[in-house]
Chain A
């Protein structure tokens, strides 16, 4: 794989008049699926718009596949976009719309319809191929938008809230398609608020807050590095207090709590040591572990820690 990241931001800043939307972000996004997270107003939409070439940065640079996306038709071909902006041409049928889009990207006239139908079928939209978009339901329209973004199979896919309005049945297929693209070496950037959906797609995240970059990388690694917030390791076993006794001499353990009869929660700032020690000590003391979880390990908790108390 190439050395340069698929999407690169170098000291990227964007403001509107006096209001700053994104402030000095420098990051490289590799191929595969990455989740773009952040509260409302964090700057995600501005970021996506500049990446797709719709706007220019106020300061700094955006590079997609090494090139500047602004006024760059050749590059625009390789960028697929799915946003929540309204429909411009909803009297067309999905096949026509996607066909038109493919033509703009340089696909031969004769092949556009076939490719369009193929893309639609990937999203289970075979039945809606020749029906006008304004007769379709919201969820179906959303999938048409996705099919349009995916049809050309561009190198870079920018998806803004791709799963809105999509019912759980179609969601599974959609997530699958997104993961497939990522696995196939495309760079897929998914911006979403629904964190468990992002979790099902990827572990790579990019977190923005108030226009600044807060964290970037593997969610679990980020969690490990967050040492202001002690890790909580919840162990459900038959003798929780005995386990506590067995672990108490470990310097990495900061504290215990007992949320219920059968659970002991360890607090630690050195998760590596603690996680390694728990099974060892438990097996030594013949304590039967039924469950070992970390309530912190979800993207939701990560988000809360990084964003809830300011950056």
Chain B
């Protein structure tokens, strides 16, 4: 159990940042989501042992944080959102220093720093001062200092902020590899939901200091039944009219066509057969109206929608 939190409360005077948070995380790749002010930051600080909580139990990596906040930090790697590197050092010196702070002896620290910097994609630049680095390189240094202590728990705070698309790709694939290659677990806190979709398999949703959801990513993102999304090249209007004529309920999301199987279809038929009939009908209509089908699949729900729904339900009740 990497994180065991029970009825955690954190009050700042009359403001309750965390209200009765109970979480049991066995491990894996967990995305931590929530609107601004939901308590994500407070939760992370508490897990790092930086903030004494008002009441409740908080155990990280099987250690009670209230008793011994310091020793846990050897095995937690934290990648901060903002710049956190001393500018006058080289990346190598900095990461070696980080390794030593985690308890590695001097020589091992240097060796491991080299290995981790290599893994993070910092080659010859590691001998230059950090002050001369670009944003992408700085993010890599931050990741390297979090990894160098061989953490069991990696806490990442907006790891792709400021990175261009290529940089984002590389960072996400670096992050994905870590749990695969070591026993580390991942908690990724970010606003960019596609990052979570790509790297995590579990999700914790916080709002107003409470846990709204804690479970698998797949389970949260429900698939719509009987609904297809399409992109076409050709006369959109004509196509949509033809689809409606076939009995589909058609709506448009930008240039994406959402077609829902109409009630007129045979309800008794096997689900797969129904879907197959529907796709056949869609394709036939496309051919008839002379449009190219560029994209056709059952409507894919996004984490964004699931997240908004979760928050919305909570606010409604």
Contacts and interface: CB of A to CB of B under 8 A. Distances in A.
A and B: direct contact (Cβ < 8 Å)? yes
B294 A304 contact: no
Interface residues of A, number: 46
Interface stretch (A16-24, A89-97, A254-262, A281-289): A281-289
A294 B192 CA distance: 23
A73 to B, nearest CB: 33
Contacts of B287: 279-280, 283
Of the four ranges (under 10, 10 to 19, 20 to 34, 35 or more), the interface on chain B belongs to: 35 or more
Contacts of A220: 233, 294
A153 interface: no
B243 interface: no
B191 A292 contact: no
Interface stretch (B49-57, B116-124, B142-150, B272-280): B272-280
A194 B297 contact: no
B196 to A, nearest CB: 10
Instruction: Give the one of A39, A169, A172 with max B CB within 10 A.
Output: A169
Contacts, number: 112
Interface string B282-317: 011011000011111110000010011001000000
Interface string B194-210: 10000000000000000
B294 to A, nearest CB: 6
B165 A168 contact: no
26 contacts: A40-B134, A40-B135, A40-B136, A168-B304, A169-B307, A203-B255, A272-B233, A275-B233, A276-B292, A279-B284, A282-B283, A288-B276, A289-B280, A290-B276, A290-B279, A291-B297, A292-B293, A293-B296, A293-B297, A297-B231, A297-B294, A297-B295, A303-B166, A304-B165, A304-B166, A307-B166
Contact of A279 (B36, B162, B293, B304): B293
B112 interface: no
Contact of B194 (A139, A196, A292): A196
A165 interface: yes
A193 B168 contact: yes
A138 to B, nearest CB: 7
B298 A169 contact: no
B198 to A, nearest CB: 11
B255 A167 contact: no
B297 A292 contact: yes
Interface of A: 37-41, 137-140, 164-172, 193-196, 200, 203, 220, 272, 275-276, 278-280, 282-283, 288-294, 297, 300, 303-304, 307-308
Contacts of B104: none
B34 interface: yes
Given A196-B194, A275-B233, A283 B161 contact: no
A280 B169 CA distance: 37
A254 B311 CA distance: 48
A167 B191 contact: yes
Given A40-B135, A40-B164, A169 B297 contact: no
A133 to B, nearest CB: 15
Interface of B: 33-37, 134-136, 161-169, 191-194, 231, 233, 254-255, 275-276, 279-280, 283-284, 286-287, 292-298, 304, 307-308, 311
B36 A292 contact: no
A140 B36 contact: yes
A272 B294 CA distance: 9
B274 to A, nearest CB: 12
B6 to A, nearest CB: 27
Contacts of A137: 36-37
Contacts of A280: 287
A291 B169 CA distance: 26
A279 B297 contact: no
Contacts of A283: 280, 283-284, 287
B308 A168 contact: yes
Nearest to A221: B233
B304 A193 contact: no
B36 A303 contact: no
Instruction: Give the one of A165, A272, A276 with max B CB within 10 A.
Output: A276
A193 B164 contact: yes
A308 B166 CA distance: 8
